[in-house]
Structure 1
Amino acid sequence: MKRRQLLRHSLMAAIASPLLSPALAAARRATSAAALAPLLDDTWFDEVHQAVLPRGASLRIVARSRHSAVDGGAYAWHGAPDGGACFATEDGGWVYVSNSELPDAPGAPDGGAGALRFGADGSLVDSYPILEDTRLNCAGGRTPWQTWLSCEEHATGLVYECDPLGKRPAVARPALGAFRHEAVAIDPGTGLAYLTEDEPDGCLYRFDPKRRGDLSAGLLEVAVADGMQLGWQPVSDVGAARKPLRYQVPEAARFRGGEGIVWHDGHVYFTTKHDNRVWKLQVASGRLAVIYDASLVDEPVLSGVDNIEVAPGGELLVAEDGGDMQIVALTADYQPVPLLTLQGQDDSEITGPAFSPDGSRLYFSSQRGTSGRSRDGLTYELTLPPAVRAG
């Protein structure tokens, strides 16, 4: 850990984005310093959960695959928990939704997605499915109108729009394309949706709905690049009846294994796993930048980049698929700082980081737990110290 703390000071200076003005960078560093101060050097080891946590934080397991999360509940928490998000409820509580990356195979349970409902006091009060009869549901994204988009990660995978409360049936959104989906982020200002593709030569897509807040129809486009400047060209065969989407536009920009994606403050941030990079797209200008590249150091703090989330203080949190089983914060000047480390789970990956509406709790999963098997996933709640929440 000490070696990594030394490395973090020099890593990001070489690839800091030119889009971040000095004044804005200084302002964000001030906010970030206040938020992350308790995390940098003051940690403790939770022997019960075999985890390194920030001083003052606490960890609990809220769900285990194949087991009911609530006493007497009929719903067994799904295996291979993956992407997730939190939604506020009218009673002051919240819901954490989570995908299941299980395949649809004979004798095996479906993928789909499930939900954990919490009361205003943080107690777990209910658990239920919100999507069934799908497969390999990897990541996804939340919408500004408070639904969950669950993405299937296979060659003809679709995006499904789900009700976090489980009261309305999930609906397929084929207008978003049939491909190996990973994640979705929606710009609340324009209503445009940005989608990643988990292929070694995958693409970045943009969906412009005919009506704001309605994903049933619209224009699907793929990114094309002129250096680090992105433009967009329409995809004609969104159902991939004749050719995979990524090959329909020869000029399409290639990204090496698109993973998590999130919108924040006029930018879309996304990760690519095969080159261990984090990218930033300024949506107004189409300007692209690499803000983290693990190849620039011999022993990177962050590797196996996967799901991505924005912390209350504005830092980016990146979950590791492999690596050192960490959730790593990228501060305002893109320095990597470990937030949490799980030990004894080397055959798993961290998935689904998402904050409760008040920012006091961070939910995430270890997809395969301590056994390394999808049927033994663990879903956690990290309660943060007050100083971090205030940031």
Structure 2
Amino acid sequence: MKRIVVVGASAAGLAAAETLRREGYDGTLTLIGDEPHPPYDRPPLSKQILSGEWTAGRLPLRPEDDLGALRLDLRLGLAATGLDVADRTVGLADGSRVPYDGLIVATGVRPRRLPGEGAHVLRTLDDALALRDRLKPGSRLVVVGAGFLGAEAAAVARRLGAEVTLLEPAPVPLAHAVGTEIGQLLSRAHLDRGVGLRTGVTVTEVTEEGVRLADGEVVEADEILVAIGSQPNTEWLADSGLGVGDGVICDKYCEAARGVYAAGDVARWYNPLFGTSMRIEHRTNAAEQGMAAARNLLAAPQARKPFAPVPYFWSDQYDMKIQAYGYLRGHDEVTIVDGELAERRFIAAYRTGEKLTGALAVGMPPKAVRAWRQAVAGGVEWRDAVTAAGTGTV
């Protein structure tokens, strides 16, 4: 291959570019990103950047010299607008077209929004800085959506002295992912710190005074953060012929079409470890999948390797360090296998079918949680995993 194009200049795209060079690819390597900033880390946006603990200068994923060493044809501040698979070209917002022999799609996601003007979202550095500038002691912040992103932002804002209200349509925040009991426990951490948590309410629009609920009530606010999930950036692929359905549809090798791979938040691929198609919006997965896609793009067809990771994510809320391995959604059972739920120091294991498919920990040392990752990766039967936990051997 003489020309490889990577569309998306965040964690997955950068990991792909670095892997291509590390694996010996010496041709033209174009990295395209719609933001003007060089690749930077996103998890700190809702934590260290929003709190003011970090400056923006700490976010770049690589020093300038390291980026230079990759010899990239770097196109920043330019969105991809179209893909022609037959001609093997990517169209850009400035009207230019970039040819490729191999392509990696890593365009990520964007926040879902509500009708109305004036609300914040939290996906980019500029988003985080704009909200940080508005969080003052005593200011009223309404956060719509009590998932991990909304919960992290609420915790930071409360620590900064803002009056925070969390609005969530589900009866228990995060119950669909982590289970009802653990969702309730995470909710109590907010209530204990004076956050106003309202569940079972639907926000229909943003108004000048705050947000309007489905029953007509207006919850007043000085600032509003909408954290109701994300949607994959796939519109530019509408006429490309690639399969798109809640992400770029890929096989177990992350291949979407001949010579076209996808990685990161935008990729929906078949994970053979869990026997299902999944799309993961976590930083660790983005980097690992970027590397896997790059290797498979360069490899001979018979030498490619399935991408079968144990997904990992973490969240910091107040004094709680939350870590999780595996695929928790759609689980059939969750049980506490170590520690005490009431003490906010525990490990919970998750069963889907007859298999151990995940583990979540709060306040536990990383080493203890990693043992459960190994069990998930090994496809351990649920009964064996729980029995081993009782004897302390997991």
Same-fold call, TM > 0.5?
A: no
Higher strand share: 1
TM-score range, shorter chain: under 0.3
Q: Give the TM-score, by structure 1 length.
A: 0.24
Higher helix share: 2
Q: Give the TM-score, by structure 2 length.
A: 0.24
Q: Pick the structure with greater CA Rg.
A: 2
Q: Which has the higher contact order (CA 8 A, sep 6+)?
A: 1
